[in-house]
Structure 1
Amino acid sequence: MWVRILLGSCHGSRHAGPLFNPLLRPMNIDFATLTEYQRYKMMASLIVPRPIALVTTLGEDGVVNAAPFSMFNMLGEEPPIVMLSINRLKDGHLKHTAANIQRSKEFVVHMCDEDLAEQMHRCGENFPVHVSELDAVGLTTAPSSSVAPPRIAEAPVAFECTLWETLETTSRQIFIGQVRWMHARDELIDTENWRVRLQHYQPVGRFGASFYVKTNERYALEAQAAARSTAIDEM
């Protein structure tokens, strides 16, 4: 059991939240005793916030598919690779995105900011395979530079990827993609110093249950960091 202090009871302190009490026992849970769904709920609600990838792929008939995934992250820079984990449907079939990546070996990952959040969420609805989510939610496309799937013009950042490797588990396919090209809004990147102007970047993240989080409340832990040009505003 943990002692918990509600955020509102600490007058806005950013340090409010769970406190460790050495006199109380923590919960110890053997994952082998949980069901698959119970493990999913615990991990997906505790390993947060997670970045969200809005992924475009091309169907066999040329329809542009777009779907959001939060089992996603950067894995490294040499080679520049990202990871995308997609669960299978209840009947064992692949989701449209997974089937398209497996067939074409190409996809585009878009980062999602506050302006894109609502349309990103709607792309997660269950559309028929012949319907483009982008058309349904009012997003537009722009041609990619190195892959066939187009990118989303409204997205702050897009990474064109080719499939590097695929891993399979009993419930998921894990795609590792190599980034070939990146597209970003003009004001977002300082190409002279190769820094991201974080004051112009407001990504949203996936939280537990059906919640999302904003990332506009930022702080540095080093006392001298606020005086450095790379702190908070730029990286």
Structure 2
Amino acid sequence: MAYPDDLVAAVRGQLGLDGAGRLLDVGCGPGSLTLLLAPLFEAAVGVDADGDMVAEARRRAAAVGITTIDWRRLRAEELPAGLGEFRVVTFAQSFHWMDQPLVARRVREMFTADGAWVHVHATTHRGVDGDDPLPQPRPPWDRVDDLVRHYLGPVRRAGRTVLPDGTQSGEEEVMRQAGYAGPARIDVGGGQVVTRSADDVVASVLSLSSSAPHLFGDRLPAFEADLRGLLDAASPAGLFSERTREVGLVIWRP
């Protein structure tokens, strides 16, 4: 699901942005956040380790006519990579996959004097659990999770590895040890009702590192057929409603 509309205004207001400076979005994926924030800056750079993500980001930028973003296939651990200085560096749902102490130290060298690091904490693949009435049924997420475990086993997968204890924690300690001050915290969005198609839900499931297409191997067609069967049983019309979750902005200063 898209980031909330008020995220841009919150970042602009909290950081006092005036159109100057450059943005670096680390782990940019298909550019969802980069494209939102790029108009707040003179120029932007989006980096991601996955070449297909970078290609999709370029395609989406071209489709909306944004030409101020330089897209690079690059691992965060390779920074600063000669990219120069930035007024804002963002990490949206990405920092927990990285060598956090190393990345925090290297990025600290890349800020201008008024620079800020922004973590964007969000769950955009699914909405808030609840039983309040909505225009369409909610996606049957519990049954979807059970189906993923049926195919991939009980231990959560993460791309080419596993996460028996979940993703990394201790982010604040990492940032303090790397010399950052803060943080300031803002919550934006949340509570909006959105309508999603069955295709949207399938795409959300397959976008996760824990249920990425390659994990299923030659069983992917069977998994997708079973997933669509679950969704069809939950909503024969193929439409679902969800309430969006809050997005948390955590801002550090170098």
> Under a length normalisation based on structure 1, what TM-score does the superposition of the two structures give?
0.21
Larger fraction in helix: 2
Larger radius of gyration: 1
